[in-house]
Structure 1
Amino acid sequence: MTQAAEILEITDRFHVHPDEFDEGTRILAARSRRMRMELIDGRISSRALPDGDHGRIIQWLTRICVQSRPELWLHSEQGLKVQEYRLGRARPDASLAPGDAFVGHGEWADPSPVLMAVEVTSYDADTDQRDRVEKPRAYAQTGIPVYLLIDRDNREVTVYGEPDGVRYENAHTVPFGKDVVLPDPVGVTLSTERLKDWVR
C-alpha cells in the first residue's frame, strides 16, 4: 500500500475540517500525482486521474458550450467550496462559468459564478456513491443551478436542475444518442450521439 493510500485509509475513519483538508491535499499532491482529493460530508475521498476518453468528452462539451455561449467557459477541474457553509471541497470535472470567474482565486474557489457542474463517470468502485449520490446533493446544497452527469457505465446523460438547497427537484435522464436540454441559466441543447464513441 502506498503512503498516500495509507493516509486515506486512516483519514476515512473521522471527519476533517476544511483547513486540515487543504493542508493534507498539499502534502498528498507532493507525494502522489495519481489522485485527485475531495472532501464531501466531512469525508476525504480520492479519485483516479481521468482517462483519454474522459478527456475527449470534456473537449466535446467545451466546444458545444463555447459555441452556444461564447461569454462562458467550461473550466476544467477548478476546485470549489461546496455544501452548506462551504465546508466541502469538490473538484468537478468541469464547471461552466464566465471566463474570468476564477481569476484571483486559489485552489478552492467560491462557486457563486458557476452555472453548471459537470461530472463524467470513471470506471472505479466509488463512482456510484460519488457521482450519483454525493455530488448531486453537494452541488444542490451549494445552489449550483444545473448538474450534468455523463454516465459512461450506464450510457446515459442525467441533467439535474432546480436546486432547493437540499436536493435537485428535477432530474431528466436520456440514453446516449438522444438530445437533452440543459435548462436555464445554461440554455444549451446537447446532441449526445457522439458519446457512444467514448465508452468502453
Structure 2
Amino acid sequence: MKTDALELIEIKLLLEAIFLRYGYDFRHYAQASLERRIRLRVEKSNLSSISQMLPKVLHDPNFFNLFLKDISITVTEMFRDAYVFAKIRKSIFNLLRTYPYINIWHAGCATGEEVYSMAIMLKEEGLLERCKIYATDFNNQSLATAESGFFYANKKNLYFQQYLAAGGNASFADYYDLHHGNAKIKDQRSA
C-alpha cells in the first residue's frame, strides 16, 4: 500500500477517534487543509507518523489542545465576502422584519469580525434591538479576541471598502474607536 493511502487511513482513524473521545467532528472538514495541518503537527511534534498522534490526542489533553489550535481556522475580516453581506441585506433582512424576535448563531466565529459585521448591518437596518446573536468557536483564544472587540487598525481602510461593498450606509469609522494602535468595535446596542 502506498504511503499516501496509509496516511489517509491514519487521518480517518485519527478524526474518528477525536469524534468518539471529544465530540469534535472534523471528518467532513476541507480535506486538503486538514491533511496539511495534521502533517504539520506531526512534524512539529517530532513524530514519525500520523498514527503516533493517536495515543497523544486521546490521552494528553495538552497535546489535544495544541492540535485544536493547529486546525482552528482564524482567518476572518470585517464584511468578508462583501457580496454575501450585500445579498443578506437585500434579500434576507426583509424577511427578518416580519419576525418579532431573531436569533442568529455564528458557529466558528473565529475572532469575531464577521459577527460584528452582522451586528452593524442589523443596526443600520433597525433590526439589532430584536436580535440575540450567539457566537461560538472551539478555539478559546479566538473567542477571547472576539469578545474583546479589537481588530488591527491597519485594516480599517480595507474594512471600510468592504463595508461599502456590503451596502453600508453610514461611515465605518462610526463603529469603532482607536486604542493604542488597534481599533475597538463600539457596543452596537448603545452606539
Question: Fold match, TM over 0.5?
Answer: no
Higher helix share: 2
TM-score (norm 2): 0.25
For the pair shown, which has the larger CA radius of gyration, 1 or 2?
A: 2
Higher relative contact order (CA 8 A, sep 6+): 2
Higher strand share: 1
